[in-house]
Structures are given as structure tokens and as C-alpha cells.
Amino acid sequence: MRQELEKIKKEYNEITNELSKAEIILDLQKFKKLSKKQSALKEIVDKYENFLKIEKSILENSEMIKNENDEELIIMAREENEKLLENKNKIEDEIKLLLIPKDPKDEKDIIVEIRAGAGGDEAGLFAGNLFRMYAKFAENQNWKTVILNSNKSSIGGFKEIIFEINGTDVYSKMKYESGVHRVQRIPKTEKQGRVHTSTATVAVLPQAEEIELKIKDEEIRIDIFRSSGPGGQSVNTTDSAVRITHLPTGITVSCQDEKSQLKNKTKALQILRSRLLVVKEEKKAREEKDARSSQIGTGDRSEKIRTYNFPQDRITDHRIKKSWHEIESILEGNLDGVINSLSQAEREMRK
């Protein structure tokens, strides 16, 4: 393990040195790629350096115990070594988890699709809550969120919203959000104070590069139509909305948020490419008889993964059977505790 860690440390230092060079800074694509790689290695390197410091302290204390005549100092050194050894073992276990091979998609940017499910208008409001939660979480992570397409519901919220998130290791954290999210609360429209249950589905798609999945012109049909939505906006007065149908699979994607037909087409192709990549990978997994049994995330969209119970101020993730309180804080984007627990559980499963 030590040999592997030294190799990782050397690579990290080399990348850090590369990132300081002017020609790399000017090459945005290369700079972004190296920055992502550096970030991925940093946690391992930091823990390894901490491990080495503890190891050095244990050795120094052991030398003191051998050569010191003062009994009080010897006792103190022994007690300190006990604590240091406990900490060393803990860090070693953490490093072993970090060294488990990661999903190659973990570094990718993502496209998120949120759709209102059962529950009518309340489901649309809940879909809006989920979008705000992810947008706030992305902001906390210094990621960038861009809306690709949206269909607002009549009283607020969304019937559907599709957006991309770009940044460092986005998929590695957001992949756990795919599935059915259920909310239990008293809707604003409920006059008798009854608790209603509504749902929204979330799909997290790793963004597919054009080199990963090419779409042939003859495989798609493109329809142009007038955008729908709140009146009085220029997007509703021109035929700028685009619908792309992938003929071999029947998958349809619509984009209408941009005023430009070309921009809507580009976004629609971006979404289509990511959806097709997921279909391709799911097919491959079935053929290999590996339904991602070692993963918690990237789940089936029909799987109920989480319940947001407002009367009890409790969020429960059903996959790891763990609950958190302070719903309002989590819905404000403070998802770190939830995602870290899911990530830890997946690592444990993959040992």
C-alpha cells in the first residue's frame, strides 16, 4: 500500500507543478482536466501525509521510552502512543477505502432530470424544492448550474425541469440522488390540515462527450415548434423550441428555454446523448449480469429512495436505513451529511 501511496503523492506533486505553468493555465481544457485529477488525488495525499506524521511521532515516542530515565515522561509517551496508534489505524482504514477503484464516471459533469410524480400541484412544488436543494448544494460546492429545459406548474414548482451541473467530481456525489423522492406534508392548498403524500422522480445522468457516443443524422428526427409557458416572453413568439426523437430507441427530448433554435438544438442533443449513454451502460450491465449490486447510487428511477417527512422533521434514506432531522436546512442545500453517509456505505459494500 505504501508503494502505491508514494506513487500517488509523486503524481499529485507533478500535477501541482504542471498547473503553475503558463502554457497550461492558458489551455483551459487541459487546465480543467488536470485540476480535476489534482482534486481527486488531494484527499488521499492529505491523509497519507497525516499518516506519516503520526508514524513519525510514534517512532519518536518509542525512542524516548527506550532512552528516557524519567518515569513520568515515559508514562506520558506511552499514553500518547496509544492514542496515536488508534488514530493511525483509523486513517489507514480510511486510506484503504479511498484506494478502492472509483467509478470511472465519478469525475463527469451531469444532467439532472426532475419530474413531478403522484400528488398533482403538490408534486410540482416538491419538484421545485428538490431543484432548489440541488442548486444550493451545487453553489456550496462551487459548481455551476445551467437550466436546459423546464415546464412550470400552474401554482409554482415544476412539472419537469432538466439542468446540468458542471464542476469537480460532480457525478461522484450526485449519483446517489437517482430514484423516487417522497414527501409527506400538509400542502398549502389543504384547508383541513391533512398530511398528503406526493412524489417526484430524479434521474442523474453523467454527461456524455461526443467522442463517447456519436448520433448519426439519419437516426434522429427534429421538429421545431413554438415555446409554451408564461405569456409575453419573446421565447413564446418565435418557433425556437426543438424536439428531437431518436428513431432507434424512441427517446424524445424537447428544449425550449433558449430564444435561439440552434441553442435549443444543442442542448437537446446534449441531453439525448447522456440518456443514450445510460441506456447503453444499463444494457451492458444486464448482459454482464451485474445490476450494480455493489453500488447504492445510479439507482432505478422507479425505486423509492428517500422520504421527506415534514410533520416529524425527518428525512429517511431507505437504502441505508438512516434518518436525519432539520429538513429545512437540508432542503437549503446542506446535503453533505446525507451524501457522505451514502458514499461511505457504498465504499463499505465494495470492500
Element (H, E) at 64: helix 28-67
Q: Which three cell numbers stand for residue 342?
A: 451514502
In this prediction, residue 292 carries a pLDDT of 44
- 270 with 298, same domain: the answer is no
N-term to C-term CA, the chain = 15
Check: CB of residue 184 under 8 Å from CB of residue 309.
yes
Beta strands at 179-185 and 304-309: parallel, antiparallel or unpaired: parallel
Query: Is 110:207 a contact under the CB 8 Å cutoff?
Result: yes
Domains contained in the chain, number = 3
Instruction: Report the C-alpha gap between 88 and 50 in whole angstroms.
Output: 9
- Cα 216 to Cα 168: distance, rounded to the nearest angstrom: 30
Residues 204 and 303 in one domain: yes
249/203 same-domain check: no
Taking a C-beta distance cutoff of 8 angstroms, is the pair 277, 206 a contact? yes
User: Is residue 307 assigned to a domain?
Assistant: yes
CA distances from 65 to 55, 60, 77, 87, 109 (A): 15, 9, 7, 20, 53
Alpha carbons 192 and 108: distance in angstroms, whole number: 46
Crossing angle of helices 71-98 and 28-67, in 10° steps, is 150
Question: Domain for residue 104, yes or no?
Answer: no
- Radius of gyration for the alpha carbons in the chain, expressed in angstroms and rounded: 25
The reply to whether 86 and 160 lie within a common domain is: no
333 by Cβ neighbours in 10 Å (0-12 / 13-18 / 19+) ranks as middle
Answer yes or no: is 103 within a domain.
no
Which three cell numbers, joined as nine digits, stand for 278? 445510460
Give the Å distances, CA to CA, from 311 to 121, 180, 324.
19, 20, 13
In a domain, 224, yes or no: yes
- We report the CATH number of the domain holding residue 263 as 3.30.160.20
Q: Is residue 138 within 8 Å of 109, Cβ to Cβ?
A: no
Helix (H) or strand (E) segment spanning residue 218: none
Residues in contact with 108: Cβ distance below 8 Å, sequence separation at least 6, in sequence order: 170, 171, 206, 207
Which of helix, strand or coil describes residue 333? coil
> Would you give the DSSP letter of residue 13?
H
Could you say which of 287, 311, 332 is where a domain stops? 287
Q: Does a structural domain hold residue 32?
A: yes
> Domain range for residue 236?
217-287
User: Among the residues of 190-316, which ranges form H helices?
Assistant: 261-287
**Alpha helices, H only, 99-221:** 121-140, 170-174
Which of 243, 267, 287 marks a domain boundary?
287
Instruction: Clarify whether residues 128 and 190 are in a common domain.
Output: yes
- Domain end call among 35, 63, 98: 98
Q: Are residues 330 and 204 in the same domain?
A: yes
The per-residue pLDDT for 209 is 73
Query: What whole-number distance in Å separates Cα of residue 123 and Cα of residue 136?
Result: 20
Q: What angle do CA 84, 90, 95 make, to 5 degrees?
A: 120
Backbone angles phi, psi at 159, to 5 degrees: -75, -35
- Give average pLDDT by consecutive 10-residue segment, the chain, 351 residues: 91 92 88 85 92 93 86 90 93 85 82 92 94 96 92 87 91 93 86 87 86 80 74 52 90 83 86 86 66 46 86 95 95 94 83 62
